[in-house]
Amino acid sequence: MSDDTSKALFERAKRVIPGGVNSPVRAFKSVGGDPVFVDRAEGAYLFGANGAKYIDFVGSWGPMILGHAHPAIVAAITSAAARGTSYGAPTELEIRFAEKVIALYPSMEMVRAVSSGTEATMAALRAARGYTGRDLVVKFEGCYHGHADFLLVKAGSGAMTLGIPDSAGVPARVAEGTVTLPYNDVPALEALFASRGKDIAAVILEPVVGNMGVVPPKPGFLEAIVSVCAKHGAVSIFDEVMTGCRVARGGMQERAGLRPDMTCLGKIVGGGMPLAAYGGKRAIMEKVAPLGPVYQAGTLSGNPIAVSAALALLERLDGAVYEKLEALGARLQAGFERSLAAAKVTGCVQRVGSMVTLFFTEGPVTDFASASKADTKRFAAWHRGLLQRGVYWPPSQFEAAFLSAAHTEADVDAAIAASEAALRD
């Protein structure tokens, strides 16, 4: 196919899909040029509609931890589809999925399957409000928890990329139920609880932010969330939609040795299919219908194809996978840091496990304010340079990149070489 294939497809898409894409960051607005339309994917690689091959560091935004089209997962999906694509009725598969999640996340005594990360966070917060009888929700600037109305307040991800941290169409009275604080700011958290603690139902956060680029928690920050919530009777919620089974089998809470009151999961636990989950302490989850008054439902929740894919993936996440991911992540980080130094370009590489961001700003990036100082024009030029050299990197300064177990050292070295060349352009 010609090099103009993606451009032609994009023009065609824009006539029938808002902006030509079904999720905003895909439009490449922050990096310029036209998005790559994908024909297929295998292992660590994407193949564009024009026939070009790319080393993929997006991985469908995280879930492809074993690589694209893993044979065991494809086999599980195919087998499940042959038995019917959706039942709208209970299955043993759902039980096995819940048992597996609970085994990986001891903080989750009960779990409910849903179809997306947005559903998971929305439902978890509704359960927290129902459990506490309070209305106020606390989130952190730059953290993205899906596109529910009351969570599109100082959000990260595409909202930050597009320069619109707040969304039109969100009623002011809905937004008033959400208070935002700077990420990594324990004094601000403690001050808010001192003044309004009796009104706060929950605090929700990404325990490692991926939606304004990779921003790790400072020592003591996650511990403060859990302890302050416990002290004031609020619900601590770790949104591990991105970090769950990514930074460790048991997510960031495993790495930190913490047990939040509730957890939201997605991405990897869905095996690449539309599947997510939320859960937590039994007393909270027993408030969810049909046991309690907090209503949440979904025809496709626990879909047999999605759950089959999830089980096939989760069963393969062993220690060797995480050892490889850590080694590849460290290799990529070191190479990018060398390329910045050699080109005498200001930047910092931030990484937790196999989540990586190269910020074009002096580090460290610790919150929304410091992330916002990044040179997005320099990032856009670098991104174009990578793409021209066959490296598919997230098309936003404010998104995490992901490694998979399908990547090789040669793939990582090729990305480093592409970075070195792109910085010289």
Q: What is the CATH number of the domain that holds 391?
A: 3.90.1150.10
Q: What are 68-91's pLDDT values in tens digits?
A: 999 999 999 999 999 999 999 999
pLDDT band at 161 (very low <50, low <70, confident <90, very high): very low
Q: What are 295-320's pLDDT values in tens digits?
A: 999 999 999 999 999 999 999 999 99
Q: Do 177 and 86 lie in a common domain?
A: yes
Q: What is the pLDDT of residue 27?
A: 87
Q: What mean pLDDT, rounded, does the chain reach? A: 93
Number of domains in the chain: 2
Q: What is the pLDDT of residue 174?
A: 66
Q: Do 289 and 143 lie in a common domain?
A: yes
Q: Do 274 and 395 lie in a common domain?
A: no
Question: Is the model's pLDDT at 261 over the cut of 70?
Answer: yes
Which residues does 140 contact at the CB level (< 8 Å), separation at least 6?
A: 180, 181, 182, 183, 205, 206, 209, 368
Query: Domain range holding 127?
Result: 71-314
Q: What is the pLDDT of residue 159?
A: 41
Structure pTM?
0.93
Domain boundary among 280, 314, 348: 314
Which residues does 289 contact at the CB level (< 8 Å), separation at least 6?
A: 295, 296, 297
Q: What are 137-159's pLDDT values in tens digits?
A: 999 998 988 866 666 655 444 44
Q: What is the pLDDT of residue 114?
A: 97
Helix, strand, or coil (residue 424):
helix
pLDDT band at 209 (very low <50, low <70, confident <90, very high): very high
Cis amide linkage into residue 364, ω under 30° from 0:
yes
pLDDT band at 33 (very low <50, low <70, confident <90, very high): confident
Q: Do 388 and 296 lie in a common domain?
A: no
Q: Do 148 and 272 lie in a common domain?
A: yes
Q: What is the pLDDT of residue 24?
A: 84
Domain boundary among 286, 314, 342: 314
Q: Do 370 and 358 lie in a common domain?
A: yes
Q: What is the pLDDT of residue 177?
A: 83
Question: Is the model's pLDDT at 390 over the cut of 80?
Answer: yes
**Candidate from 30-39, 157-166, 170-179, 363-372 with smallest mean pLDDT:** 157-166
Q: Which sequence positions are flagged as catalytic?
A: 144, 239, 267
Q: How many CB atoms lie within 10 A of CB 364?
A: 13
Give bridge partners of residue 202 from the DSSP assignment: 137, 235
Question: Is the model's pLDDT at 248 over the cut of 80?
Answer: yes
Question: Is the model's pLDDT at 62 over the cut of 80?
Answer: yes
Q: What is the pLDDT of residue 29?
A: 87
Q: What is the pLDDT of residue 25?
A: 86
pLDDT band at 3 (very low <50, low <70, confident <90, very high): low
Q: What is the pLDDT of residue 163?
A: 39
Query: What CATH number did the domain enclosing 196 receive?
Result: 3.40.640.10
Q: Do 114 and 174 lie in a common domain?
A: yes
Q: Considering only CA atoms, give the Rg of the chain.
A: 21
Q: What's the sign of the alpha-carbon dihedral 139, 142, 146, 148?
A: positive
Q: Do 345 and 283 lie in a common domain?
A: no
Q: How far apart are CA 179 and CA 212, in angstroms?
A: 18
Q: Do 337 and 266 lie in a common domain?
A: no
Q: Do 132 and 216 lie in a common domain?
A: yes
Q: How far apart are CA 309 and CA 311, in angstroms?
A: 6
**For the chain, percent of residues with pLDDT exceeding 70:** 92
Q: Do 277 and 415 lie in a common domain?
A: no
- Name the token pair of 151: 């969570």
Q: Do 243 and 178 lie in a common domain?
A: yes
Domain boundary among 314, 344, 369: 314
